[in-house]
Amino acid sequence: MTSTLGTGYSDLKEKQKKEATNVMPKIRSLCAYCGASQRVDPLYLDIAKALGREAALRGIELIFGGGRVGMMGAVADGAIAEGGSVVGIIPEHLESVEVGHQGVTRLEVVPSMHVRKMRMFELSDAFCILPGGLGTLDETFEILTWRQLGLHDKPVVVLDTLNYWQPLKALIEHQVKVGFVKPEHAEMLTYVSDLETLFETLEAEPRSRIEGESERF
C-alpha cells in the first residue's frame, strides 16, 4: 500500500529543493562603485565606511577601485577596520592620482581602465552603486549594458544615499517613457535607501543562470 503522506512529503521536499536552487547563494564578494572626490559632504564618506564594515561583518569580500581617497578609501577603511578581505584594482596611470590603498588585503595594479573594470567584474558576485562622479556613472552604465546584453545577470543595486541618485532614476524613467529603454531593462537597477535593505535585496536575488560569464566578452 502506497502512503499518500509519503508521496506528498517527497513532493514538498522536491519543491523546496527547486526553490532553494533559485535563491542566490550567500554573496561572497561585493563590488562597490563610488567616487574618489574629497570635496563632498562627510555623510557620504560615513555611509561608504558603514557599507565596508557591514560587508566585512557578513563575511563578504569587498572589491573596489583601489584608491585610498574619498568614498573609495572610506569603503575600504570600513571593511579593513572589521578585519574584512578587501581587494583593490587600480590602473597604473591612476595609482599616483588616486593614491593606491596600501592597507588592503590585495592591491592589483593593472595596465588600463578596461582591464580594471573587467577584473572588478570577474571578482564580484554583485555590484553596489554609491554616490560618485563621471567615473561611477561610466561603471554603472557599463555593468548595466553588459547585463542588458545578456553577458551576465549579477545583481546591481543603487544605495541612494541622501537621494543622490534620484535624478538618475528620473532620467532612466524618462528614457523608458520615450521608448529608448525597455521597462524590463530599467528594472535591472534596484534602488535602496539603507544598508539593511541593500543586503536583504542581494540575498533575495535569483541565482546567476549564466555560466562562464567572463568568457562571453
Q: Give me the pLDDT at residue 93, please.
A: 87
Stated as kind and residue range, the H or E segment containing 191 is strand 189-192
What string of DSSP letters covers 5-17?
A: HHHHHHHHHHHHH
- How far is the C-alpha of 217 from the C-alpha of 209, rounded, in Å? 16
Average pLDDT of span 1-27: 47
**pLDDT tens, 155-197?**
999 999 999 999 999 999 999 999 999 999 999 999 999 999 9
Q: What is the average per-residue pLDDT within 65-93?
A: 96
Residue % of the chain over a pLDDT of 70: 82
Q: What residue ranges define each of the domains in the chain, with the CATH number in brackets?
A: 27-163+189-203 (3.40.50.450)
Confidence label for 21 from pLDDT (cuts 50, 70 and 90):
very low
- pLDDT of res. 192: 97
User: What is the edge-to-edge ordering of all strands in the sheet holding 189-192?
Assistant: 106-110, 86-91, 61-64, 29-33, 126-129, 156-159, 189-192
